[in-house]
Structure 1
Amino acid sequence: MLLGQDVNRAFLEKVATAAEGKSYFLNDSTGLEQILLRDVEEHTGVTAIEKSIQPKVVKQAGILDGVGIESAPPLRGYVRFQARPTSDTILEADRTDPLLVRWQYGLGRSAVFTSDAKNRWAMNWVTWPGFDRLWANILRDLLPHAPQSETAADFDRASSELVVDYHLSRNVPEPSAIPDIFAFGPNGFQAPLKVNKVAAGHYRGRLAIGQNQGLFRVRPLADSPAFPEVGFYRQEDEMLEYGNNEPLLRQISTATGGHFNPAPKAVFDPAGRSIRSTMELWPGLLALAILMNLAELVLRKWKGLLEALHLRPHPVQA
């Protein structure tokens, strides 16, 4: 891309041909933005598709319950994008482009509707009876759901193992195969958790974690309603021990010359011991000397002060 009149057009065209690109010549820089946008659209394609499309059901889900998507009118446009590999494509637009997609990430859930909910592309949908029901189902689906299985994790101090129990609820079917489950812990700890069936609807996994302490996360490789993610925090041993350590307290009292478990009266009993302390007396003595000096001066000069103030009484003549 060259700007101005004094340019080497032949060289630029040669470079563009060798690189299988295009050459552009501009006299004004104001057209640079339009050229870049047009070039990007030619290589990546326009993401906004404005034409009449009829939604197609790819996967039946609870979001579509009571909506009657088969009777939905056509949409006037949508935005092209690629669905995540682990997501569920529920509705599809033209050319296998996704229209309604949702996916689960950890304990959260997200959904994308590639058209709009206003009177631009969804003009016919706003007056469609299933419009309100569809969005109510989408919002309800995104709200937190009660866990379908009861999962608990604990630490077995005798064997230094992390124990995870899975109790399936009645509406969760027994899995045909136990998925791969991994445990992640502090300091880069990572190990597979072997889960075995204990009873009907009850599964248990045990994993040796040694002396590792901190937060452990146990989750399957792929999201599973029967084996949800669970966390466990192993506290330090000193946080789990209650009471006092009497042998240690006796050693400390012996080493420091103290007493172990003394009587309440003996706590403040000096037992004849004294502590030497010093106190500086010169400030008080200096103040006393100054006061005595002033008092002696006043006593010696009292008569002179009275005469100076004309307070001395005159004798009475007979």
Structure 2
Amino acid sequence: MLVILNPQSNAGTALQRWRPVEHALRERDTDLTVEMPSDAEQAAKVVRASFESEAPDVIVAAGGDGMVNLVLNAIMDPETDRPRRGAERSALGAVGLGSSNDFHKPGRTRIADIPVRLGPAELVDVGKATMLLPDGTRTVRYFLLNASMGLVAAGNHSFNHARGLIGWLKSRNVEAAIIATALSNIATHKPLAVQVRGSDWVHTAPITNVGVLKSVHFAGGMYYDTPVTRADGRFDINIWEAAGRARILGLIAGLYRGKFVGSALATCHRDTSVELRPAAPAPLELDGEITIVESARLEVLPQVLKVCAL
């Protein structure tokens, strides 16, 4: 087992929370290797180097959802849309040391009260995002949970770069920090002009948000009531129609109870691919990580990656 650890996750508390988990894992796996790369580029290099000899049975992303996404993208090969050569025998596992840990939900397994995914492997879908950047270049990123554009992406960007009161809250009460971030972004939010195009449908009216899901869980305690699963070969595309602040707050309150489909603001589609074309460059969120894009095509790669079960 190879662990890629981000000690800076969750406002720098990850290393302290990792110690009892490491102790428990070393009791069951004497071949456990733990790496703490200095940055994202070095972390990707460590993951890829592990495939050059005898690849580990499990590569564990220890940190938040961003760390899971980093390890995922180090595993995947853009030339084949499959795991890199040598990575086929490795499963992706995780130890949830982050602030939201949506990858682990609705998680049942814990070590020292930390959510973990280290069980038997199952094949799951991977989302592929082909993005056109403002400088004219194209790039590919993969995701396991969801993508968004609009209010949620703006909120993730603010949360990731939190300072002041929200930064203080983030280190002490994650859900309170998420709510404070949402309120701050709602106060300045304007409907986003974006064309959302599926295989046989198109949505052109301004929106509050669009979520492209492989998991219903997002942004801490919110979750949808649409049917997507990790291995069903489809996205749920959930559009929040443009609305005033009070109605958006009502929608968000419903999402904390897992209520979305019945809202007058909800438009739902299921599809294998979707294109997002904003009127001007806009933030695209993939598993909590933000990229500014001119446009993006998102597609499902069915059951291409081994992931440790809950």
TM tier, shorter chain? under 0.3
TM-score with structure 2 length normalisation? 0.22
TM-score with structure 1 length normalisation? 0.21
| Largest Rg, 1 or 2 | 1
Structure scoring higher RCO (CA < 8 A, sep ≥ 6) equals 2
